[in-house]
Amino acid sequence: MVRFLNGEFVEDGRKAAVSPDDRGFLFGDGAYEVVAFYGGRPFGMEAHFKRFHRSLSELRIDPPDPAELKRLAPEMVRRNGMEGQDCLFYVQCTRGVAPRTHYFPDPSVPPTLYASVSEFNRPIEPGEKGVSISLFPDIRWLRCDVKSINLLPNVLARQQAREAGSEEGVFVRDGVVTEGTHSNLFAVFPDRLSTHPSNQLILSGITRATVLKICSEMGLAVEERAITRRELFDAREVFLAGTTVEIMPVVEIGGRQVDRGRPGEITGRIRRAYLETVGAV
């Protein structure tokens, strides 16, 4: 697969080499984004790159020109022969290559920009049948609004969830449900939908924003409010939202069924509307 690294396209991706002194390798000092292409058409690309710019700015890393990224993404899709296909564009930027010290390197050190494209194996069957999730203590740092490449807590929770037979690990901080390892969470109650407020404790997802818009258009009441762990078990429906999970019904939480243990009506309506929005149907 073709990779992009610091201004050059590397035809054999296995030959794309990053220095061991790169701060992304040494410190996880960087940020990333993932944009889904449906049938060769990107969804939410501008919003993703806007968030990428914000993440890097919060980390005080000079972000790449958004116009450059908008040109790069479809070019990478073309070079990898994925025009007209479902695929994922990944982009990552680190603080660059410098001697290992905790403080920032000299400002003249250029950031490292890397990008790749991969096949998007959409979660069609899980999206129709629903999945189980497991709950874990939220041990992450307090800037989850930054899409940092520092993902060790997410990796550990996702692995624990997999070992428990669950599709996703969902974090709980001080009794409050925050989000999944790579998704946002919504709970459906009799009179409203609830999801965690967009603040420093979650990554405000592009799919999350799309769901909020869909709910508004459908006349569904949504409350951005912290949901307690106890409340989550009383929800009539629960679903995950994210670029790679799309809209995924949750039918079981830690071994306990959600309502009747099958995808709910509201989740189904939102999922259909989302798939229409991204052009997947």
Domain residue limits, the chain: 3-119, 124-278
Torsion of CA 247, 249, 252, 257, to 10 degrees: 150
CATH number 3.20.10.10 given to 124-278: yes
Domain 3-119 and domain 124-278, same fold? Reply is: no
**Of these residues, 15, 50, 70, 147, which one is catalytic?**
147
Ordered strands of the 87-94 beta sheet:
8-10, 3-5, 112-119, 87-94, 30-38, 41-42
For residue 165, what pLDDT is reported? 96
pTM score, whole prediction: 0.96
pLDDT by position in tens, the chain (length 281): 999 999 999 998 888 999 999 999 999 999 999 999 999 999 999 999 999 999 999 999 999 999 999 999 999 999 999 999 999 999 999 999 999 999 999 999 999 999 999 999 999 999 999 999 999 999 999 999 999 999 999 999 999 999 999 999 999 999 999 999 999 999 999 999 999 999 999 999 999 999 999 999 999 999 999 999 999 999 999 999 999 999 999 999 999 999 999 999 999 999 999 999 999 88
Long-range CB contacts for residues 274-278, cutoff 8 Å, separation at least 24: 274/207, 274/210, 274/211, 274/214, 274/246, 274/247, 275/246, 275/247, 277/43, 277/210, 277/214, 278/36, 278/38, 278/43, 278/246
Q: What is the CATH number of domain 3-119?
A: 3.30.470.10
CA–CA separation, 248 and 167 (whole Å)? 10
Active site residue 147: yes
pLDDT value at residue 14? 86
Predicted confidence at residue 220, as pLDDT, reads 97
Q: How many CA atoms lie within 13 A of 132 on its CB side?
A: 15
Structure confidence at residue 15 (pLDDT): 87
**Which pLDDT score is estimated for 13?**
84
For residue 278, count other CB atoms closer than 10 A to its CB. 20
